[in-house]
Structure 1
């Protein structure tokens, strides 16, 4: 299973999740399916970080789409401009910046690395980004285990996710562990890749939220 297929799984399950949250909040089936999306996006973020040729462009692209997506996100979920919750691109952006700083302090002390992680989690929480500190923990779990063999890596990540979900979220979030099943099948290949396809996956986030906002 290549990264293109993983992106399609993440995108599809995310749209299903958002449909359920906006139009059928009482039906947990949609939300359960949607739990697969975010861990896959965290995994792909880390893979992208280690394989990108230009991390500055990567971070700028995430930040740009975070800004573009905020109004569709607000109107889809809250019916208007709302400062109390920010879209998932902000979480991914903060996680990416944390990884950049951690790489720069690779030879630094454990305290420095801990401060980077804690600062990222704090910023995500203060800004009320989607998943907040839980999202940062997911991202850093995949980051720190990147060079560990796949099965052992995902076992460690599963334990971290389980404990994080248990402490910081509802029982429904434990279904996010199911995302590790397709990740186990990842073959370290990208699949079909071009600029149009790449931007389409980014644009799908604000566009589907805009559509849901209009329908709502």
Structure 2
């Protein structure tokens, strides 16, 4: 599944840079973020060393790395809180911060991570569908509905039993985002 996330992110970014008027590239890219959000949650549940888990780099606008980092920090902080009111308040403040700072996906990104945190099986798909409907109503982004396919794949294949869920080498998983963006940038500016 992580291979699919990397491939669809690459397709999305190639389309954004080289074929901006063709929506098919962006549709394929809608599969990537939910898988990354799920991977973030799964990584969070399986690590004991938060310092070694966090990685972000400076950009001019808060990109998806910042969205995932803010979501991870919210999960970590919430796990230290005892009362559901405090946890809810933390999530609301984090969502507002993400929206006001104009992070990629904004509150949608955090809510999707929370869907993976608090729901299972077909409920995950249903709540993700509702999130997409609300997001579409607010942002007029019907392309986001294609992201639901990722949650369906996660529900069907997240057991690790399938060959579809093969592990990506850690070095490749961590370096893919900055490396593929650098390659796209070099291709774009090459004379």
Q: Calculate the TM-score normalised by the size of structure 2.
A: 0.87
Following superposition, the deviation at residue 90 of structure 1 comes to 0.8
> 1:155 aligned to 2:96?
no
Number of equivalent positions: 184
Residue 159 of structure 2 aligns with which residue?
A: 188
Residues 44-75 of structure 1: CA deviation (Å, up to 9, x unaligned)? 1111111123223212xx23xx33xx3xxxxx
Residue 199 of structure 1 aligns with which residue?
A: 171
> 1:178 aligned to 2:153?
no
Following superposition, the deviation at residue 98 of structure 1 comes to 0.3
Following superposition, the deviation at residue 192 of structure 1 comes to 4.1
> Equivalent of 2:40, from 45, 70, 84?
45
Q: Indicate conservation of the 8 Å contact 1:20/1:30, yes or no.
A: yes
Residue 184 of structure 2 aligns with which residue?
A: 212
Residues 28-51 of structure 1: CA deviation (Å, up to 9, x unaligned)? 000011100001111111111111
| Secondary structure of residue in 1 paired with 2:157 | coil
Q: Distance in 1 between matches of 2:87 and 2:142?
A: 30
| Secondary structure of residue in 2 paired with 1:104 | coil
Residue pairs, 1:1-216, within 5 angstroms: 6-59=1-54, 62-63=55-56, 66-67=57-58, 70=59, 83=60, 85-105=61-81, 107-110=82-85, 112-145=86-119, 148=120, 150-189=121-160, 191-192=166-167, 197-216=169-188
Q: Indicate conservation of the 8 Å contact 2:95/2:110, yes or no.
A: yes
Q: Distance in 2 between matches of 1:208 and 1:177?
A: 25
Following superposition, the deviation at residue 172 of structure 1 comes to 1.0
Q: Which structure 2 segments of 5+ residues have no match?
A: none
Higher relative CO (CA 8 A, sep ≥ 6), structure 1 or 2? 1
Residues 171-209 of structure 1: CA deviation (Å, up to 9, x unaligned)? 11111112123212224337446xxx2121111101110
Q: Distance in 2 between matches of 1:192 and 1:32?
A: 25
| Secondary structure of residue in 2 paired with 1:44 | helix
| Secondary structure of residue in 2 paired with 1:183 | helix
Q: Which structure 1 segments of 5+ residues have no match?
A: 1-5, 71-82
